[in-house]
Amino acid sequence: MASSPNTKLDGVGGATGMKPIPIHENVLQKHVAFFDKNQDGVIYPWETYQGLREIGNGILFSFGLSLFINLSLSQSTRPGKFPSILFPIEIKNIKLGKHGSDTGAYDTEGRFVPSKFEEIFTKHAHTHPNALTHDELKEMIKENREPKDLKGRIGGEIEWEILYKVAKDKNGLLKKETIRGVYDGSLFELLKEEHSGHKKK
């Protein structure tokens, strides 16, 4: 895993530099676009693997998770098409792969819902108003669980635990601006840049 983010990453989307997330756009597509390495609108398992490695995940973990992600999302994002042994994910249909047991910060069309995003912190940020501790994160994950939604529960827990491990600050806090950067995909590029810098040292 990557080490904790440096000052540059800690300042992702700070009050002075953060642009509003357009609520009319399919922001979910931007969230996953980082993993479309050749920008052809389709994400294959090897591209998912590469993206996971770039943001600081280990080889075996990235390999297993890339298979899980593409196996889970491929067919749902390719409605009406015959299953492919390459398990591609079609970005234009990524909203169809949205799982349950989540925060609701994406609506069914993949648009950003600011009120649901703010609820993450009004409900669960007990220690710091604009950050989550690991215990608070686990509380949020547990509260979002929906009955009989095993796939959504697993997907949600994996996503948030990965985010915490690669993007928590030096005090073990997952900051609001960092989480916000996940929803529009901007955090991934910063994590890639930081992880690349650490490897060069």
What local confidence, expressed as pLDDT, does residue 24 receive? 60
What local confidence, expressed as pLDDT, does residue 26 receive? 82
Confidence check: pLDDT of 165 > 90: yes
Instruction: State percent of the chain over pLDDT 70.
Output: 85
* pLDDT digits 0-9 by tens, 5-20: 443 444 433 333 456 6
Domain ranges of the chain: 7-200
Between the CA of residue 181 and those of 74, 159, 176, 188, what are the distances in Å? 24, 14, 9, 8
Q: Pick the residue with more confidence: 26 or 94?
A: 94
Across 23-27, average pLDDT: 70
What local confidence, expressed as pLDDT, does residue 8 receive? 44
pLDDT classification of 101: cutoffs 50, 70, 90: confident
pTM across the whole model: 0.82
How many Cβ atoms sit within 10 Å of the Cβ of residue 182? 19
What residues contact 158, with CB distance under 8 A and at least 6 apart? 65, 68
Contact (Cβ atoms closer than 8 angstroms) between residue 99 and residue 151: yes
Confidence check: pLDDT of 189 > 90: yes
* pLDDT digits 0-9 by tens, 39-88: 999 999 999 999 999 999 999 999 999 999 999 999 999 999 999 999 99
Contact (Cβ atoms closer than 8 angstroms) between residue 168 and residue 162: no
Confidence check: pLDDT of 29 > 80: yes
